[in-house]
Amino acid sequence: MSFSGNIKEELERIVAPSRHCQLAEMAAIYDFCGKTSEETEGEIVISSENELPVRKFFTLFKKTFNMYNDRYGKAPFYSKIGAYYRFAVDDADRIGKVRSAIRMTTDTMRSCCRRAYVRGAFLAAGSVSDPEKSYHLEIVCQDERQAHFLAELLASFEIEAKTVIRKKYHVLYVKDGSNIVETLNVMGAHVALMDFENMRILKEMRNSVNRKVNCETANIGKTVTAAQRQIDDIRRLMNRDEYEHLSPALKAMAELRVSYPEATLKELGELSEPPLGKSGVNHRLRKLSQMAQESLEWDKG
């Protein structure tokens, strides 16, 4: 199962103890995958290719409206029709009660209800990329109003969410890893949160190691290239009469560089008699390269 699938499985099992939170989650599921059909005298329908939001709405409906112990006779149920799961309520009195009960605004929702609403919205229309590949959480909204409402709820928990238009939908998304973790926490997906954090830590450790390896590899490459250029310059000088007139210090450094082509400046300094610092070694090698370049220019002239 995908990472998103595991999150939704966890969220589907969460049932808030308070009725107002249950209604908030029902409101979200209804907003994101519900409809009222005028052709059936206001029938409320929850329909989705994913069974989980339909099953969750059914569970919450059963708890909040005591549908097995009232005067409405046969209890509603959800079923699979083709590729979709469907739950419907077609009693006019009950529809009015349901719609009135789940009407939500950011001004009247408590913090716990906002958490429940976000949970229901994600269950109905959300997804999270595998954190081993990328950090991306999104919820597909029907319109701009819905996306704005959900962004306000997340902002109340200091979670920055952005929106983008994708075909006919407004998609709310969160890219930052820490904000995704906080969103999972808000929804109550604590098992998924721990899994996400573990994978994020491993990924960041691997990236850190790779950066260090790449940096060291680049430095080694630069050192080898510089050393080879120095050796070429020194060999050019050795083939000229001027080489015999070099100072003993420059001659000694030239011979060390040719004898130890893979040595670093620090190692060349330690091999010198007397020992030299890196700046001293670098100064002598630059002097040798400069003389080689001057002799080359002299030949061309």
pLDDT tens, residue order, the chain (301 aa): 789 999 999 999 999 999 999 999 999 999 998 875 554 456 778 888 899 999 999 889 888 877 554 444 455 677 888 788 888 777 666 777 777 777 776 667 889 999 999 999 999 999 999 888 889 999 999 899 999 999 999 999 999 999 999 988 999 999 999 999 999 999 999 999 999 988 888 887 887 777 888 887 777 777 778 888 888 888 888 888 777 878 888 888 888 888 888 888 888 888 888 888 988 888 888 888 888 887 776 666 5
Asked whether residue 58 is assigned to any structural domain, the reply reads: yes
In a domain, 145, yes or no: yes
Among candidate residues 144, 161, 188, the one where a domain is terminated = 188
* CA-wise closest residue to 33 among 44, 23, 18: 44
**What's the CATH code of the domain at 50?**
3.10.28.10
Residue 63 sits in the same domain as residue 122: yes
Domains of the chain: total: 2
Kindly state whether residues 23 and 141 are assigned to the same domain: yes
Same domain membership, residue 244 and residue 156:
no
137 in any annotated domain = yes
Residues 124 and 209 in one domain: no
Whether residues 114 and 242 share a domain: the answer is no
pLDDT tens per residue across span 130-145: 888 889 999 999 899 9
Same domain, 209 and 166: no
Strand partners, 177: none
C-alpha distances in Å from residue 217, one per residue of 202, 224, 229, 257: 22, 10, 18, 21
Q: Answer yes or no: are the C-beta atoms of 78 and 54 closer than 8 Å.
A: yes
Q: Assess contact for 299 and 245: CB atoms under 8 A.
A: no
108 in the same domain as 51: yes
In a domain, 194, yes or no: no
Are both 236 and 101 inside the same structural domain? no
Pairing of strands 162-166, 126-128: unpaired
Name the token pair of 133. 């590949």
Residue 46 phi/psi, 5° resolution? Answer: -110, 120
Same domain, 31 and 112: yes
- Do residue 150 and residue 38 come from a single domain? yes
Task: Assess if residue 195 is contained within a domain.
Answer: no
276-278-282-284 Cα dihedral, nearest 10 degrees: -10
The answer to the question of residue 245 being in a domain is yes
Q: Which of 145, 160, 188 is a domain's end point?
A: 188
Same-domain check for residues 39 and 126: yes
Phi, psi (rounded to 5 degrees) for 230: -65, -40
* Residue 51 domain boundaries: 3-188
State whether 86 and 220 are in the same domain. no
Q: Is residue 197 part of a domain?
A: no
Its pTM stands at 0.68
Q: Which residues pair with 89 in a beta bridge?
A: 44
75 Cβ contact partners less than 8 Å away, ≥ 6 residues apart: 62, 67, 68
Out of 188, 219, 247, a domain closes at: 188
User: Is 198 inside a domain boundary?
Assistant: no
Q: What is the pLDDT of residues 230-253, one digit of tens each?
A: 888 888 888 887 778 788 888 888
